[in-house]
Amino acid sequence: MALPETSVHGRRTNSAAPLRAASRTGLRSVTPETLAATRYARQYDGAVRITRTAALRVSKLAAAAMGLKSAKIAMIDQLFACSKPADWQGVAPPIVWPSNARLARGMGVSVSTMKHHLNGLVRAGLVAYRDGSTYQRSGRRDADGNIVEAAGIDLSPIAVRFEELTALVDEAELAAKQAQQLAHRRTVLRKQVKAVIDAAARDGLSGAWPSLTERLEAMNAMRASDNIARSELIGGYEVLLLEVEAAYDMAYREANPVSAVSKNDPLTSLQTSEPDSGNPPPTGVSARGIGRTGSFGASNDARPPVLPFKISVPSDLQRISLELVARACPSYGHMAPGALASWKTFKQAAPEVAAALEIDRETWDRSVATLGWELAATALAVTSEKARSGKVFRPTAYLRSLARRGEHGELHLSRSLFGLLETRIAPDIRAARADLPAAEAFPETGSIYFTNWAEKVRRHAPGPTPDVDLVADAFRRWARSKDIRLDAPGIDKVMIGFCRKWRFGTF
């Protein structure tokens, strides 16, 4: 006895035996997937009222999220073309009864191919078979167009699973968006690493550039299958970028020894407040421990203290204020409320912030041992802010790389802090500069952050863009050593020439 065409449940592989069994028994073949779809259909009681449009949208998006191909998604369109909006608002389940020939004709495929795609939707739990006694599809509507009785293809699993399918779609869309962001981040990092390596070749700098290039090419050839693998790959790019930048800085200093000013000439204090205000020179704090003040950040001044962190590079005497950290890294205070009230609370909150970032205890202890509590806490603040903004996907690896740079004397946290601060307040800075007249004389003291001089530094200094106040202090010292008045005619051209020759640690 031959079965009706709707009863064939064949797969394209290993399908001969099931088909022969179905032919002998005259029954529809049963699998765990078809049973699950049937159970979903039995749960329909008309309580869930959704529109036909919403059901069509979520079913197609969910099918794509499940990995179903375009032909099966086209099958959903064919089935919904046979359904009416009223079918989704009544007590009777939304059943359609088109013939196999009609569905195959609508898709432009053979009947056997159409059956394969229809069975795929059943196995996915999106539709179920609602069979009559003869397996023939048929249905009847009343005068108002409502389904009275029907046997065919039951679309009610979509209504029963509507919330589940909607969550699946949302998750897939979020994963797709994250994948796009990760792909963009990977492209940016890849170009940044390549730019530094090319700059080293252009400047003729010595170093392990061939091995670094091989690492970059190997990472470029990697293919990530999911967002977790993509995040791990991006973490590798971030570490490689830090390594090539450190190698470039070291090779450049070796090839360009200091000549204009003694390497041991200390830098004057960096300003983070308004141009007319300043912070007095602070008492020194070693990167390995507590300075002469006796406690981290202790000061009798009512203004926020400015702490110098001495790194192994003699000319790189960094000065970082609590105000700068608070403005550049507010996420540190969000993770540990009250942490930015004082230097003491800032340091005490570091383990809590590290735990919130899921940084393991071994990495944190090693960072403290390498940098000291003060620098380690500051590095953690930078890590927390970059992790919050999506620039760092693996905080543990990033903090570990900062500690490694500190070991080699290549850690410049003030650059990171001023870069983060500039990103946050860039719109305000641009608006403030637009209202300021061009400066005639270079300021004798204070910050140039809100003057046109800052724009000259950014425009003419070699990349990466240095801290403008760091360049300003160096320019003042250089001008004094050359007996050049800061209000001399053409001082702006002198400043531009100084910026073009700027290299960190040279002046």
- The pLDDT tens digits of the residues spanning 317-360 come to 345 677 778 888 898 988 888 888 888 888 889 999 999 899 98
Q: What angle do CA 484, 485, 489 make, to 5 degrees?
A: 100
- Check: CB of residue 169 under 8 Å from CB of residue 65: yes
Q: What is the pLDDT of residue 94?
A: 92
| Cα separation values, 339 from 35, 332, 381, 396, 475, Å | 57, 7, 11, 21, 36
Model confidence at 403, in pLDDT bands (50, 70, 90)? confident
Q: In this structure, is the dihedral angle defined by the CA atoms of residues 64, 65, 68 and 69, taken in order, positive or negative? A: positive
For the segment 492-505, what is each residue's pLDDT rounded down to a tens digit? Answer: 888 888 888 876 55
pTM given for the model: 0.43
d(CA 136, CA 50): 28
**438 or 348, which is more confident:** 348
> Residue 73: enclosing H or E segment and its boundaries?
helix 70-80
- Collapsing DSSP states into helix, strand and coil, what is residue 326? helix
Find how far residue 119's CA is from the centre of its chain: 39
- Check: CB of residue 326 under 8 Å from CB of residue 306: no
Q: What angle do CA 73, 83, 57 make, to 5 degrees?
A: 40
Which residues lie below 8 Å from residue 307, measured CB to CB, with a gap of 6+?
282, 285, 291, 296, 297, 319, 320, 321, 322, 343, 374
The two beta strands, 285-286 and 306-310, are: parallel
Count CA atoms closer than 13 A to 325's CA, side-chain side: 30
Q: What is the pLDDT of residue 464?
A: 67
How much is the average pLDDT of 110-130? 92
Q: What is the pLDDT of residue 250?
A: 82
Residue 278 scores a pLDDT above 70: no
| Residue 31, phi then psi, degrees to nearest 5 | -135, 165
- Check: CB of residue 462 under 8 Å from CB of residue 503: yes
For 209-248, what is the HEC assignment? HHHHHHHHHHHHHCCCCCHHHHHHHHHHHHHHHHHHHHHH
Q: What is the pLDDT of residue 158?
A: 92
The neighbour count for residue 488, using CB atoms within 10 Å, is 12
Of 84, 98, 99, 103, the residue nearest 147 (C-alpha): 84
The neighbour count for residue 333, using CB atoms within 10 Å, is 20
Q: What is the pLDDT of residue 121?
A: 94
d(CA 373, CA 379): 10
d(CA 464, CA 245): 10
Share of the chain above pLDDT 90, in %: 18
| Cα separation values, 327 from 159, 304, 330, 332, 455, Å | 50, 12, 6, 10, 21
- Check: CB of residue 219 under 8 Å from CB of residue 211: no
Q: What angle do CA 68, 74, 77 make, to 5 degrees?
A: 120
How would DSSP label each residue in 83-109? --GGGGTSSS--EE---HHHHHHHHTS
| Residue 252, phi then psi, degrees to nearest 5 | -70, -40
Which residues lie below 8 Å from residue 139, measured CB to CB, with a gap of 6+?
95, 96, 97, 147, 149, 150, 151, 152
How much is the average pLDDT of 4-22? 36
Q: What is the pLDDT of residue 204?
A: 86
Residue 282 scores a pLDDT above 80: no
Tokens (6 digits) for 276 = 């007319």
**461 or 296, which is more confident:** 461
d(CA 143, CA 235): 65
Residue 478 scores a pLDDT above 90: no
- Per the prediction, the chain carries an average pLDDT of 76
Q: Give the residue carrying structure tokens 């359904």.
A: 83
The two beta strands, 128-130 and 138-141, are: unpaired
Q: Give the residue carrying structure tokens 């590079």.
A: 313
Q: What is the pLDDT of residue 53?
A: 92
Tokens (6 digits) for 22 = 């179905």
Which residues lie below 8 Å from residue 2, measured CB to CB, with a gap of 6+?
23
| Residue 298, phi then psi, degrees to nearest 5 | -65, 135
